[in-house]
Amino acid sequence: MFRANNITSSGRRSVRYFSSAHRQQAKVVCALYPDPAVYPPKYARDSVPNVGLDTCPSDPWARPELTPGQLLGSVSGELGLRSWLEARGHTLVVTSDKDGPGCEFERELKDADIAISQPFWPAYITKERMEQSPNLKMCITAGIGSDHVDLEAANDRKIAVTEVTGSNVVSVAEHVVMMILGLVRNYIPSNKIATSGGWDIGECASRAYDLEGMNVGTVAAGRIGLRVMRRLHPFDVKLHYYDHHRLPEAIEKELNVTYHPTVESLVETVDVVTINCPLHPETENLFDEKLIGKMKKGAYIVNTARGKICDKNAIKAALESGQLAGYAGDVWFPQPAPADHPWRNMPHAGMTPHYSGTTLSAQARYVAGVFEILENYFEGKEQRHEYLICQDGKLAGAGKHSYTSGNTTDGSYAAASA
Ligand code: NDP
């Protein structure tokens, strides 16, 4: 085996390993985000707490290959998969060069059996890419949300799609709470005043409110939406939700949460909306000019679900007009967002690049799920129901519950111009 470090045409570093003795076995191609300037980074803490297994069925502490708390999600981290895969005779190619025709991911996918991609640095697995990859049998999302895979095309070709349901739901729920408080309390502009030598309390206070007493609503009360509500409940807010299915009555009572049968009813009522539904044809561009126009003037939106759920120009216009008092989120379309994406430069915004679900606390959890999915695949075992998005040409498992069939990858080639 030998290792080659390449600088790709797009300037991104990629690492390839060759294991020629085992080419006949499965080829796994994996797109991960680039390494930070120093890899491995100097960790701020020595460990992450072992918080138990209620959010991830596979225990990362039980895997000898993993040290929870380490950066596994970037190219050199390789999701900790290399030695495990190679010991079983498989080949692993890891790259961050994922966009545009002829990129390394696309080239390597052509004879790959399994593709692993991440929502944070999505390798868009389009119909065209699937057509060029006759051996492709499974697309694994190392995280949650497989909208960057054309699910319709995957079903047409009977390519299985799996994701690590539950793995980073607490990470995202905490990010949502942080962003809601950040917007409502005017944190980011006030921090800028402090760090730039100023002391303009009037300026800080003129857009700062308490969250207490506000109406806060989630679009979707799934794993993340429910956790957001549980975390906000002690802030003495009035909670609301809209979802296809109602929560059990006991949970509605415990959280004193009001159900809305339509998204319109929710947005007309609340001061803060948090979006926690998957991106699928039903939710693409859900927050357009019309729906935002139904919101209370001066409402806030926090979107950590997917960028395409909101119309990017309508959001910017609503912030400029004052219809929205703030917008925060860590999801964009495409990703990485081009330098001139309207959300990079809009007032009253608290944007981050997509990292809420890839904290050091979350990484070993979604990686442990990837190990589990691969193990099941190689051993011919059934996948966990909750990991399945597509199987045997149909939406299945979690995918059947939360997605509608169709494709939301359109326009992803725009990412190549980023
Ligand atoms: P779950 O599957 O647990 O919950 C999704 C919920 O969305 C379900 O309750 C589902 O309803 C509901 N839903 C689906 N379509 C609609 C719709 N049209 N209107 C209202 N509700 C709808 O998923 P998670 O909570 O774990 O994750 C949600 C999403 O968050 C992911 O799909 C992903 O896009 C995003 N995410 C982002 C991360 C990040 O790093 N920023 C990390 C993890 C996830 P029902 O089941 O009742 O039909």
Reported as a single tens digit per residue, the pLDDT across 140-150 is 999 999 999 99
Reported as a single tens digit per residue, the pLDDT across 160-202 is 999 999 999 999 999 999 999 999 999 999 999 999 999 999 9
Q: What dihedral angle (degrees, nearest 10) is formed by the CA atoms of 235, 241, 247, 252?
A: 40
Distance 88 CA to ligand 1 centre (A): 35
Cβ distance 411 to 418 under 8 Å? no
Is the predicted pLDDT of residue 412 greater than 80, yes or no?
A: no
116 or 50, which is more confident: 116
Write the DSSP assignment of 119-155 as a string of letters: SSS---B-HHHHHT-TT--EEEESSS--TTB-HHHHH
pLDDT at 2: 32
Reported as a single tens digit per residue, the pLDDT across 359-388 is 999 999 999 999 999 999 999 999 999 999
Is the predicted pLDDT of residue 22 greater than 80, yes or no?
A: no
CA distances from 313 to 63, 285, 296, 304, 414 (A): 45, 11, 19, 18, 16
Helix orientation angle between 169-184 and 187-195, rounded to the nearest 10 degrees: 70
Write the DSSP assignment of 32-58 as a string of letters: -BPPPSSSS---SSS------STT-SS
Distance 20 CA to ligand 1 centre (A): 41
* Residues with active-site annotation: 168, 306, 335, 354
- The tokens describing 389, both together, are 């998005």
Is the predicted pLDDT of residue 17 greater than 90, yes or no?
A: no
Backbone angles phi, psi at 141, to 5 degrees: -95, 120
* Those residues with Cβ within 8 angstroms of residue 394's Cβ, 6 or more apart along the chain or in another chain: 155, 400
pLDDT at 14: 39
* Those residues with Cβ within 8 angstroms of residue 6's Cβ, 6 or more apart along the chain or in another chain: 13, 14, 15, 16, 104
Q: Mean per-residue pLDDT for 303-328?
A: 98
Distance 278 CA to ligand 1 centre (A): 4
| Binding-site residue set for substrate | 144, 168
Q: Mean per-residue pLDDT for 409-415?
A: 73
pLDDT at 405: 77
Q: Mean per-residue pLDDT for 374-403?
A: 95
User: What helix, strand, coil percent values describe the chain, rounded to 5?
Assistant: 35, 20, 45
Query: 415: pLDDT confidence band, cut at 50, 70 and 90?
Result: low
pLDDT at 28: 98
**Would you state the CATH architecture of domain 169-351?**
3-Layer(aba) Sandwich (3.40)
Pairing of strands 349-351, 2-7: unpaired
* Ligand 1 pocket residue status of 279, Cβ below 6 Å: yes
Specify the pTM: 0.94
Q: How far apart are the first and last CA of the chain?
A: 34
Is the predicted pLDDT of residue 157 greater than 60, yes or no?
A: yes
The average confidence (pLDDT) of the chain is 92
* Ligand 1 pocket residue status of 306, Cβ below 6 Å: yes
Q: Mean per-residue pLDDT for 307-314?
A: 98
* Ligand 1 pocket residue status of 169, Cβ below 6 Å: yes
CA distances from 212 to 203, 206, 215, 238, 329 (A): 21, 17, 9, 9, 21
* CATH 3.40.50.720 residue spans of the chain: 2-166+358-397+410-417, 169-351
180's enclosing H/E stretch is helix 169-184
Cβ distance 257 to 239 under 8 Å? yes
Q: In this structure, which residue's CA is closest to atom 7 in ligand 1?
A: 277
pLDDT at 328: 98
Reported as a single tens digit per residue, the pLDDT across 244-256 is 999 999 999 999 9
Share of residues in the chain with pLDDT > 90 (%): 88
Starting from the edge strand earliest in sequence, which strands make up the sheet with 258-260, in order?
258-260, 238-242, 215-219, 272-275, 299-303, 324-329, 349-351
Ligand 1 atom with least separation from CA of 166? 26
229's enclosing H/E stretch is helix 223-232
DSSP assignment letter at 98: -
Query: What is the CATH number assigned to the segment(s) 2-166+358-397+410-417?
Result: 3.40.50.720
